[in-house]
Amino acid sequence: MSQKLQGRNAIVTGAAQGIGKAIAVRLAADGASVVVADVNLKGATAVAAEIGKAAIAAECDVSSEKAVAALHVLAAAKLGTVDILVNNAAIVPFTAWDDVDLAHWQRILDVNLTGVFLMSRASSDLMRKMATKGTIINLASNSFFAGTPNMAAYVAAKGGVIGFTRALATELGKYGITVNAVSPGLVESDGVKASPHNNAFEFVQMLQALPGKGQPEAIANVVAFLASDDARWMTGQTVNVDAGMVRW
């Protein structure tokens, strides 16, 4: 790979599998030291072992303020600072509207939106304390643009992530910290393959400009670009990576 991220330190949440794993692997291949964070410590440990000495595994529930604080204490102790935060951790439900109750709604927002806030709060504070001109990359979803059914809470949360990305970019720009979002389409990840969403690929491909099934590595490639100096003049943006399903 390019080694464009040599000497930089990254945290990737939800990195035990799927898109998060692909991002962690790619950032490490480009030279970054990576904290592989996930609520599934066993999975995170396996990914960190696969990456090698450039990775540290950490258990973290991003919806827990205490867990997020502990993760950043670890990152500061092991790495000194955080240059790159990738907010990937999410719960992807398949729940019809009539089955959405307050507990479901709250749980999805706690992880998918509040988790992005908590991680961004802690990482941006550490970046500013260490005078680091870092970058925050949030994983949104093209379901926000499509209004995908059976995902009402998820779509609402990802819309919030896009709005938060724009606002946080405005707040942090004066410190030299960029904030962008990546909006994947349907991706053939471990989680999708084990869910009813796996049955949607044929329909989704009819809406895409490019044929084929999205792969985690395609998302990781764009995240790696946004994490590099090549994207230093970009902030507050949402980049759709969905084979042209959403065109705007």
Helices (H), 52-189: 65-79, 102-109, 115-129, 143-146, 152-172
Q: Which residue in 116, 109, 136, 128 sits closest to 68, CA to CA?
A: 116
Q: Which listed residue (11, 68, 85, 154) is catalytic?
A: 154
CA distance 161 to 122: 16
Instruction: In whole angstroms, give the CA distance from residue 202 to residue 213.
Output: 9
Radius of gyration of the chain (CA): 17
Q: Could you tell me if 159 and 107 are in contact, meaning their C-beta atoms sit under 8 angstroms apart?
A: no
Give the span between the Cα atoms of 224 and 9, in whole angstroms.
13
The burial class, CB within 10 Å (0-12 / 13-18 / 19+), for 240 is buried
154 belongs to the catalytic site: yes
| CA distance linking residue 42 with residue 230, whole number of Å | 34
| Residues annotated as part of the active site | 154
